[in-house]
Structure 1
Amino acid sequence: MKQYFSIAASAACLALSMSASVAYAAADRGTEPEAQEMVKKAVALIKSAGPEKAYKVFTEHPDGAFKDRDLYVFVYDFDGNCLAQGANPKMIGKNLIALKDGDGNAFIKGEIDLVKKSGKGWYGPYKFTNPNSQGYELKKSYCERGAGDTMVCVGTYVK
């Protein structure tokens, strides 16, 4: 009886540990509503502070602004030039319209086409490196038209 209790207790502890890991992983990722809200706040900042100041905030995150777990803002003009990038500032100034994921999906072009056509919406999924895990994961991005011919996006990794 004592050995049965010990096995049952061990199994219960393992189950709790596994569910805590799953809960932690879910809490470590942004959600679709959070991504949409961040885009809306980013577009509002562009309108109130101007693009140049807003792009700097999106990229540098003063006081943690516009960076929440794996959520960050990225901005491209309609030619594919990166104007702001909250996870990798080295991308700023580069034309990435032809950038493709591992499946050959030109996702920057796809996001631009979506915003040109609809003004806003979800694009994806596509594969991209998660800056937190450094793993190649499925991602989809919510994008809205920014200042002039630009798009403002925040992506969330598909769970």
Structure 2
Amino acid sequence: MTSFSRITLLAAIACLASSAVSAADHGSEAEVQEMVKKAVALVKSVGPEKAYKAFTEHPDGAFKHKDLYVFAYDFNGECIAQGANPKMVGKNLLSIKDVDGNAFVKGMIDLVKASGKGWYGPYKFNNPATQTYELKKSYCERGAGDTMLCVGTYFEK
């Protein structure tokens, strides 16, 4: 086998292995819904401020699992918790759009206002693990007052 063939084969194996690992690292729909239920329960038990801090900082790891994390918005579009990127907290993202022009934060808020809970998506979001835009869907439930708590997962490739 030539050096080029070996390198090509090793690259192909590495790609396949990373695909298998990333698929295993995706949270399931059941795990998404379970995390949202736990988030809603925490807001009720300790209050919004302490809960939002736990979602953003996840000191005990309860709200960070595989590629799953909690994010929360008020109904005006202000980010009030973000388990993957704490720098987003305090920013109004109501009009943010994905690469296809989909105002996904507004869409999630509209869904929760109308139904109280449900799945929103698909929308394209930058996956921090792959640094590429991938299809994602999120499950959201109404939180305290005019807020929503969500967890999303990427579609399997």
Q: Deviations over 1:27-70 (max 9, x none)?
A: 11111111110000000000001000000000001021200121
Aligned to 1:64: 61
Question: Is 1:31 the counterpart of 2:33 in the alignment?
Answer: no
Q: CA deviation at 1:114?
A: 0.1
Q: Distance in 1 between matches of 2:77 and 2:14?
A: 45
Of the three residues 66, 70, 73, the one matched with 1:73 is: 70
Equivalence for 1:119: 116
Match of 2:44 among 44, 47, 62: 47
Which of the residues 83, 86, 93 maps onto 2:83?
A: 86
**Unmatched tracts of structure 2, length 5 or more:** 1-12
Relative to the length of structure 1, the TM-score reads 0.86
Pairing 1:150–2:147 present:
yes
Quote how far apart the aligned CAs of 1:123 are.
0.2
| Amino acid corresponding to residue 34 of structure 1 in structure 2 | E
CA distance in 1, matches of 2:139, 2:32: 7
Residue 24 (structure 1) shift: 2.2
Gaps of 5+ in 1: 1-15
Aligned amino acid, residue 103 of structure 1: D
Distance 1:59 1:128 in 2: 19
User: Any idea what SS the aligned residue of 2:60 has?
Assistant: helix
Larger Rg over CA atoms: 1
- Which of the numbers 136, 139, 151 marks the counterpart of 2:136? 139
1:139–1:158 CA contact under 8 A, matched in 2: yes
Does the Cα contact within 8 Å between 1:129 and 1:135 map onto a contact in 2? yes
Please report the TM-score for the alignment, with normalisation by the length of structure 2.
0.87
**Contact persistence 1:59–1:85 (CA under 8 A):** yes
**Counterpart-to-counterpart distance in 2, 1:21 and 1:80:** 35
Provide the rounded CA distance (Å) in 1 between the counterparts of 2:131 and 2:66. 13
Q: For 2:53 and 2:32, locate their aligned partners in 1 and report how far apart those are by CA, in whole Å.
A: 19
> In angstroms, what is the RMSD of aligned CA positions?
2.0
